[in-house]
Chain A
Amino acid sequence: MAEDILRIDHISKEYRLGMIGGTTLRDELQRRRAKRKGLEDPTSKIGDKNVGRIGETFLALDDVSFTVKHGERIGIIGHNGAGKSTLLKLICRITAPTKGSIEMNGRIASMLEVGTGFHPELSGRENIYMNGAILGMTKAEIDKKIEEIIDFSECRQFIDTPVKRYSSGMYVKLAFSVAAHLDSEIMIMDEVLAVGDMAFQRKCIAKMSEISKAQGRTILYVSHNMGTIRQLCDRCIVLDHGHLIFDGDVDKAISLYLDTNIEEKTHYSFRDNTNSKDVVTGEVKVQELEILDKTTMFYFGSRMKVSLVVDVHKAVESLQFRFIFLTSGGMAVAATTTERVCLQAGKNQRLNFELDISHLAPACYYVKIIAAEIDDAGIQIRHDRVAQAFAFTIQNFDGLRPVKWDCTYWGNYAIDLTKTLGETAEIS
């Protein structure tokens, strides 16, 4: 059982709204006087009714608690203003919490920004020392690793040139290299991988995984890039308006964050589903959906029967339903179109379909439904759209595929077994 390395205990961080602290003594005095007389704050912006009021506070983090075990790679996600950066700042000791406590059992390497302390006039090599020292390394430690750092940064040719002459990509590469070679037990990263070219980004992710898996180091990673979160992390925390709303499985966290978290059930009603008139005509309306298999768990390789209830306001000649299968991360995996049907005007018409989901790899999926008509000119007219119609899970079926399918590396679409052509012949 791995040991706890970081314990966040009921942390809150409060900020004052408006002009924080004032900038001059005069402003402060004016504000005090105004407060005493019950007038509006003279230093606040005109028309600012919500912010700038004296004494109003804002909780950037509200009673957040969680523990991190040694070697865990934790992703922290949430919308802008959810408190992700504040949380990292508290852990990195940049600012102190208003309430609660943080316990840690190791050194922290913070990469809230790459190239902290880089001085433009100093050479790359000098900046490695400078940056390393600021991040908490001793000179002896840097001496030991300098060659490795330079190699990783791919900047050896320019290492004795002042960094002010570097391209921004080189600058970032050098900075990341220093941070990646820190000997700290906990690494904290805030979207630093959003920089550098694709090849270098991939290299960084690989390096981070290696650091974590081989050396058992703990990583806290904040990003809006769900791809890197999924690649790097094995646990995820979702923050929303300062509250911790989820802590656990990465896929579940991502679907919660992307709002693609649909409850898995066998019967759905879309009567409240509305679409803008610019997107759909509304002549056909999908009202209900039922999974006829009476389950949402399907074995890998099976098929699914669904039943749709539609209202038709105007007769359509060749209506097609398109089912688009998406991962919980919101990425479309595959789609299928039903055969054309001719429908008369009328309410509550039931249509049954069999969906071939046998190629979907084991994972959670949700489905988007579009009802569309193809006119004579081949142009598609959308009648209705249900962005998040229903959700289901594909389970791994042991026996058919002996190896556990890993969607992160293999994708979500499983192609049929590949056959060998004829007999194997030796090449002479």
Chain B
Amino acid sequence: MEQGKYYKLITSDSRNNYFNFREVWQYKDMILLLVKRNFVSRYKQTILGPAWAVIQPLLTTIVFTFIFGNVAGLANCGTVPTFLFYMCGNIAWHFFSGCLSGTANTFVSNRGIMGKVYFPRISMPIATVLSNLIGFGIQSAMFLAFLVIYHFVPGYSIGTNWYVLMAPLLILEAAVLGLGCGIIISAMTTKYRDLQFLVSFGVSLWMYATPVAYSMDLFEGSAVLYIIARANPMSPIVEMLRYGFLGGEAGSVDWMSYGWSWIFTLVILTWGVSLFNKVERTFMDTV
């Protein structure tokens, strides 16, 4: 058979599970429409609409500020407003956990559509990450607005510095890490649904191993906790974001921990993609 433009060969051979970027690119319109669909349908028939994207992290931040900051006194951030300290960590974490738990049920929640039509399965989790990115964008705008407001409030000093430019790279890493973990879980949940329950529990557990509700220096008291916190790939992301936006009192820069987190992220992504590609061939038979 002559190999035309759309030539395709399907075999029982499962060794060719590489990531087919060209094919995903062909479906870019579908990914964008899925992003739009996710975003639009989420807020249809609500009065506040996309405002919910702002209200949720705002309320969490207020609660965190009150409980962890004022009552428990876990925010060791000196002259930086506690509210901003928590908002920065919360938004970053919210984005990461949204990517992870959103992609974790890719196969199970989309089996209706995936059982009827073919498209590169990986475009589903990619769309989930992108729609989370939109929400994150809105939340970041809110954060920046508060950042500017607090600059004019007397009594606080915010040390925004050039590390702010690291932010896009940090966000990319959070997205990739969330995607990687999410697709590993999604590939495994096709067989074991137990993981679904583990996801929400695991994510909140992970949050407490990350300096979201408290400063990194609180971990320094215990050697074991400090190692755990530094080994956690999300820690340098949150810490560096805080350092850049809020200054040295709120965050820290730990290059060793940061380098390790990238290695971890890339390994997770590679493993996730190859596992995902392996599972996507026959998951309809088991899901």
Query: Are B117 and A110 in contact, CB atoms less than 8 angstroms apart?
Result: yes
Binds A, one of B25-33, B63-71, B161-169, B231-239: B25-33
Note all chain A residues with C-beta closer than 8 A to B32: 139
The verdict on B151 contacting chain A, using a C-beta distance below 8 Å, is no
B116: contacting residue among A22, A110, A130, A138, CB under 8 A: A110
Query: Are B285 and A104 in contact, CB atoms less than 8 angstroms apart?
Result: no
The interface bits of chain B over 34-73 (1 if a CB of A lies within 8 angstroms of the residue's CB, else 0) are: 1001001100110000000000000000000000000000
Query: Are B284 and A89 in contact, CB atoms less than 8 angstroms apart?
Result: yes
The interface bits of chain A over 102-143 (1 if a CB of B lies within 8 angstroms of the residue's CB, else 0) are: 111111101011001101011000100110011111110000
- Name the CB-closest residue of A to B281: A96
Binds A, one of B186-194, B204-212, B219-227: B186-194
Note all chain A residues with C-beta closer than 8 A to B117: 92, 94, 110, 112, 116-117, 134-135
Considering only CB atoms and an 8 Å cut-off, how many residues of chain A contact the other chain? 51
Query: Are A138 and B29 in contact, CB atoms less than 8 angstroms apart?
Result: yes
Note all chain B residues with C-beta closer than 8 A to A138: 29
The verdict on A185 contacting chain B, using a C-beta distance below 8 Å, is yes
Query: Are B44 and A121 in contact, CB atoms less than 8 angstroms apart?
Result: yes
Task: Give min CB distance, A19 to chain B, whole Å.
Answer: 11
Task: Give min CB distance, A254 to chain B, whole Å.
Answer: 27
Note all chain B residues with C-beta closer than 8 A to A108: 118
Q: Which of B10, B40, B283 has the most CB of A within 10 A?
A: B10
Query: Are A117 and B113 in contact, CB atoms less than 8 angstroms apart?
Result: yes
Q: Which residues in chain B, 1-20, are within 8 Å of chain A measured between CB atoms? A: 1-4, 6-12, 14
The verdict on A199 contacting chain B, using a C-beta distance below 8 Å, is no
Q: Which residues in chain A, 12-34, are within 8 Å of chain B measured between CB atoms? A: 15, 20-25, 28
Note all chain B residues with C-beta closer than 8 A to A89: 115, 284
CA distance A122 to B40 in the complex (A): 8
Query: Are A94 and B284 in contact, CB atoms less than 8 angstroms apart?
Result: yes
Query: Are B33 and A130 in contact, CB atoms less than 8 angstroms apart?
Result: yes
Given A105-B4, A139-B29, A92:B194 Cβ within 8 A = no
Given A3-B2, A98-B12, A103-B8, A130:B37 Cβ within 8 A = yes
Query: Are B41 and A90 in contact, CB atoms less than 8 angstroms apart?
Result: no
Note all chain B residues with C-beta closer than 8 A to A4: 1
The verdict on A101 contacting chain B, using a C-beta distance below 8 Å, is yes
Query: Are A101 and B286 in contact, CB atoms less than 8 angstroms apart?
Result: no
The verdict on B282 contacting chain A, using a C-beta distance below 8 Å, is yes
B10: contacting residue among A21, A96, A134, A185, CB under 8 A: A96
The verdict on B264 contacting chain A, using a C-beta distance below 8 Å, is no
Note all chain B residues with C-beta closer than 8 A to A99: 12
The interface bits of chain A over 265-288 (1 if a CB of B lies within 8 angstroms of the residue's CB, else 0) are: 000000000000000000000000
Note all chain B residues with C-beta closer than 8 A to A100: 11-12
The verdict on B114 contacting chain A, using a C-beta distance below 8 Å, is yes
CA distance A110 to B113 in the complex (A): 12
Query: Are A101 and B11 in contact, CB atoms less than 8 angstroms apart?
Result: yes
Query: Are A101 and B10 in contact, CB atoms less than 8 angstroms apart?
Result: yes
Task: Give min CB distance, B62 to chain A, whole Å.
Answer: 30
Q: Which residues in chain B, 83-116, are within 8 Å of chain A measured between CB atoms? A: 113-116
Query: Are B41 and A136 in contact, CB atoms less than 8 angstroms apart?
Result: no
Query: Are B118 and A103 in contact, CB atoms less than 8 angstroms apart?
Result: no
Query: Are B10 and A102 in contact, CB atoms less than 8 angstroms apart?
Result: yes
A23: contacting residue among B33, B41, B193, CB under 8 A: B193
Task: Give min CB distance, B219 to chain A, whole Å.
Answer: 33
Note all chain A residues with C-beta closer than 8 A to B113: 116-117, 134
- Name the CB-closest residue of B to A117: B113
CA distance A24 to B163 in the complex (A): 46
The verdict on B156 contacting chain A, using a C-beta distance below 8 Å, is no
A106: contacting residue among B6, B12, B116, CB under 8 A: B6
The verdict on A93 contacting chain B, using a C-beta distance below 8 Å, is yes
- Name the CB-closest residue of A to B38: A119
The verdict on B119 contacting chain A, using a C-beta distance below 8 Å, is yes
The interface bits of chain B over 99-143 (1 if a CB of A lies within 8 angstroms of the residue's CB, else 0) are: 000000000000001111111000000000000000000000000
CA distance A119 to B7 in the complex (A): 31
The verdict on A207 contacting chain B, using a C-beta distance below 8 Å, is no
Given A100-B12, A129-B33, A21:B191 Cβ within 8 A = yes
CA distance A105 to B3 in the complex (A): 7
Query: Are B116 and A116 in contact, CB atoms less than 8 angstroms apart?
Result: yes
Task: Give min CB distance, A339 to chain B, whole Å.
Answer: 59
Task: Give min CB distance, A375 to chain B, whole Å.
Answer: 58
CA distance A48 to B281 in the complex (A): 30
Query: Are A94 and B116 in contact, CB atoms less than 8 angstroms apart?
Result: yes
Query: Are B11 and A97 in contact, CB atoms less than 8 angstroms apart?
Result: yes
Query: Are B41 and A112 in contact, CB atoms less than 8 angstroms apart?
Result: no
Note all chain A residues with C-beta closer than 8 A to B192: 23-25, 28
Query: Are B4 and A101 in contact, CB atoms less than 8 angstroms apart?
Result: no
Task: Give min CB distance, A276 to chain B, whole Å.
Answer: 42
9 smallest CB-CB distances across A and B, nearest first, come from A133-B30, A96-B281, A93-B118, A21-B286, A102-B10, A101-B11, A121-B44, A139-B29, A113-B116
A98-B12, A102-B9, A104-B7 known, 14 other contacts, Cβ within 8 Å: A3-B2, A21-B191, A24-B193, A95-B282, A95-B285, A96-B14, A96-B281, A101-B12, A112-B116, A117-B113, A119-B41, A122-B40, A130-B37, A134-B117
Q: Which residues of A contact B (CB under 8 A)?
A: 3-4, 7, 15, 20-25, 28, 89-108, 110, 112-113, 116-117, 119, 121-122, 126, 129-130, 133-139, 162, 185
A-B contact pairs, 25 of them (CB 8 A): A25-B192, A89-B115, A94-B115, A94-B284, A95-B283, A95-B284, A96-B281, A97-B12, A100-B11, A101-B9, A103-B10, A104-B6, A104-B8, A105-B1, A105-B3, A116-B113, A116-B117, A121-B44, A122-B40, A126-B37, A134-B113, A136-B26, A138-B29, A139-B29, A162-B44
